[in-house]
Structure 1
Amino acid sequence: MIIKPKVLFILHFPPPVNGAAMVGQYIKDSELINRTFEADFVNLTASFSLKSIGKGGLGKMITILKILKNVFFNLKRKDYDLCYMTLTAKGVGFYKDFLIVVLLKMFRKKIVFHFHNKGVLKSSSNKLNNLLYNFTFKNTDSIVLSPSLSYDIEKYVDKDRIKVCPNGIPEILEDSASNMANVDNNDTCRFLFLSNMMEEKGVLVLLKALDQLKDKKVNFECHFIGAWSDISDIKFNTVVKEYELTNYVFAHGKKYGDEKAQYFLNSDVFVFPTFYHNECFPLVLLEAMQYSLPIISTPEGGIVDLVRNGKTGILVKQKSIEELTNQLQLMSENKILRENLGKAARMRYEELYTLSEFEKNFSAILNNIVANN
């Protein structure tokens, strides 16, 4: 009989729908991970909507106490070989997670942290945070999503204890894949933006670039998919009217499943000009690559490792309207370029970013940590 390592997974699940929560759900549902480990799961989510993230309140305090109670009783009933935790890097979320870290260390557990955000290095200039980080990271391992994100924790974690495990997403259905090359847009280049409608995700920057693209007489459409956030539908439509983009730009709100897939299938280029401070490894870029779309994005977080500049997409300087406009025009007017970039993006997805590849890498890392140190 094979004895499986006992692992307590303390991680986020939807709602809300974000990268960390989606990966958490993939881990929980993974046949390979559950076959490899004797796994128990604790939901670390204390904010159940995008608007409540980073905010306090009595309800959230009660939820945090329930999480602590859940972790405590799991630790009491089972002797885990490893405790895995998706640690929040900074702010109120880190202080909440720190309470759980204290609990894990009281039980003298081997710990691995998995980062879906960043900000440790910047926050460490605060003396209290520096003290808490020293305690948190002592004798622990960490997983980051990209080599470009290791810098954020190297002050506290030895390089040989930092593991890299890129996220992966499930394969699209075969019937969708077979339709990927069948869209004909009659010389109209269709751009797609898909994310929460936040200023830091580059929504207003993109609108301004599209305004300039319109003035260059380029034939295009741009479709925006995502939940309204600090940019409301009223604000968005006001800007669209101001730039006279009504016939070029369309916002559709949140879309999931087949509806979302249809927008990917009907698009030529995926545009994501983010300068979001917490951006690490956007799953939406993996989705775009999966649908053979070339990407225009920025070198934020791990995007520099995800999108190969000039090979699977184009990286532009953050907030640079001129540079973004130029690349939008290039993609609009060069169908062969965007098709070649899109094919290369799909190949890169198949090689590195499938869910099965993530599951294999992730399981190997956890097994290695259990066996060593």
Structure 2
Amino acid sequence: MSPRPDSPGRPAAVCMVGAFPPPVHGMSQVNAWMRDALRQRHVPVVVIDLAATGRGWRARLVRLLRVIGGLTGFLRRAAFGPLGIIYLSVSGGWGQVYDIIFVSIARICGIKPVLHHHSYAYLTTRRSLAAVLMQVAGRGATHVVLCSDMERRLRGQYNCQAATLIVSNARLVECHGEERRQRCRRSVDTIGYLGNIAEDKGIGEFLAVAANLAEAGHGMQAVVAGPFLEPRVEGWVRNAVSALDGVSYVGPTYGDAKADFFSHIDVLVFPTKYLNEAEPLAVLEGMAHGVPAIAWGRGCLMEMIADGAGLVIDVKRDFVSHATTQIQQWASASDAFALASESALRKFRERADASTHAYEQLLHMLGA
């Protein structure tokens, strides 16, 4: 990246704006991986962390204060430099108000915007805020998307004429994720749930599938992993786990604990109803271990779990009955399940490899 004229000899920094851990979720983890990749390649990085600390009015207030502080810092750096690029993780909802302000300042100051999209909330349905953001970013921006369907929707919903790069999260899992213990599964003994434990992430459907399998006498285990977001949900989930045979809760899992989780399960059940869902890391990480997934067809999941790497269920259909049937079929046909496990491993590698060039392009654009 060439130096800014107002700061001779100093390389222009990349200003990364978005959510960073903690808390750990898909967007914050990807942002952290991108930050680390740039720093490893000696690119100067300025981080403006806008992560929400939870739900409710207190979390919104904390985020507002972070945004005000972030905007103040960004204005100062934009004025005195050197900043060359703003790399912004696009919010899924009202946070796009803040995104518009950051990108507007960047455009006024001649700083190139790179927008990384992590949400389908404004791609499934056209939204006015997102339309304004696309207009403000302009044709000189670069949009980073997670799959070809996301690119198609971005162009279709907003007539986006700017450049796009398709960089699957699989590339980042491959480069920066935890150790993987790859193996082809031969039998279904344990199903798993990994993620924030909330109604819109499908914990109710997962427990219903576990109950169906227990009632059918399959003797399968079911493991729930992840943090609770609301006390109300925590109460009824813990009661349900206590009441169901073979179901256990192991708490939040990161690092080696997450690798242990994937090494002990055979199928990931992912009944997400989350409107922002795009290319979930939990599914990719499971596939990287050889764990096929059963998921509702949201976001990029139809591309991810293709070619026999699991089962995608139409969002208009009953998830619990279809997932239960598929697990029972795999349990009674080990060869078919082994093929699904092999397909999950292969599909993960294909997605990671397909994004290698685009990922390097992105890093080069950011100054690496």
TMscore range, shorter length: 0.7 to 0.9
Q: Which secondary structure state, in structure 2, belongs to the residue aligned with residue 104 of structure 1?
A: helix
CA–CA distance in 1 between the matches of 2:130 and 2:20? 29
Aligned to 1:56: 60
> For structure 1, which runs of at least 5 residues remain unmatched after alignment?
none
Equivalent in 68, 74, 83 of residue 65 of structure 1:
68
The answer to whether residue 21 in structure 2 is matched with residue 14 in structure 1 is: yes
Q: How far does residue 55 in structure 1 lie from its aligned partner after superposition?
A: 4.8
Aligned to 1:254: 252
Say which is worse superposed, 6-15 or 262-271, in terms of deviation. 6-15
Superimposed CA distance per residue, residues 300-331 of structure 1 (whole angstroms, 9 cap, x where no aligned partner): 1011111115x211112334222121112122
Q: Which secondary structure state, in structure 2, belongs to the residue aligned with residue 82 of structure 1?
A: strand
CA–CA distance in 1 between the matches of 2:147 and 2:361? 17
The one-letter amino acid paired with 2:133 is Y
Superimposed CA distance per residue, residues 117-159 of structure 1 (whole angstroms, 9 cap, x where no aligned partner): 1323567455xx3773354342222111111222443233535
Aligned to 2:93: 90
Aligned to 1:317: 314
Question: Is the 2:131–2:158 Cα contact (8 Å) retained in structure 1?
Answer: no
Question: Is the 1:119–1:152 Cα contact (8 Å) retained in structure 2?
Answer: no
Q: Return closer, same or farther for 1:214/1:361 CA change in 2, 3 Å cut-off.
A: same
Say which is worse superposed, 149-158 or 203-212, in terms of deviation. 149-158
Question: Is the 1:118–1:152 Cα contact (8 Å) retained in structure 2?
Answer: no
Superimposed CA distance per residue, residues 210-242 of structure 1 (whole angstroms, 9 cap, x where no aligned partner): 22223322221110101112463321133446x
Aligned to 1:333: 332
Q: Return closer, same or farther for 1:54/1:147 CA change in 2, 3 Å cut-off.
A: farther
The answer to whether residue 39 in structure 2 is matched with residue 41 in structure 1 is: no
Across the aligned residues of Structure 1 and Structure 2, the Cα RMSD in angstroms comes to 3.1
Q: Which secondary structure state, in structure 1, belongs to the residue aligned with residue 284 of structure 2?
A: helix
CA–CA distance in 2 between the matches of 1:358 and 1:339? 26
Within-5 A mapping of 1:123-134: 124-126=126-128, 129=129, 132-133=132-133
The one-letter amino acid paired with 2:50 is T
CA–CA distance in 1 between the matches of 2:124 and 2:267? 34
The one-letter amino acid paired with 1:7 is V
Aligned to 1:212: 212
The one-letter amino acid paired with 2:30 is V
Aligned to 1:226: 226
Question: Is the 1:190–1:268 Cα contact (8 Å) retained in structure 2?
Answer: yes
Identity of aligned residues (%): 19
The answer to whether residue 298 in structure 2 is matched with residue 300 in structure 1 is: yes
Aligned to 1:289: 287
> For structure 2, which runs of at least 5 residues remain unmatched after alignment?
4-10
Query: How many residue pairs align between the two structures?
Result: 351
Question: Is the 1:90–1:119 Cα contact (8 Å) retained in structure 2?
Answer: yes
TM-score by length of 1: 0.82
The answer to whether residue 345 in structure 2 is matched with residue 346 in structure 1 is: yes
Aligned to 2:8: none
CA–CA distance in 2 between the matches of 1:327 and 1:296? 8
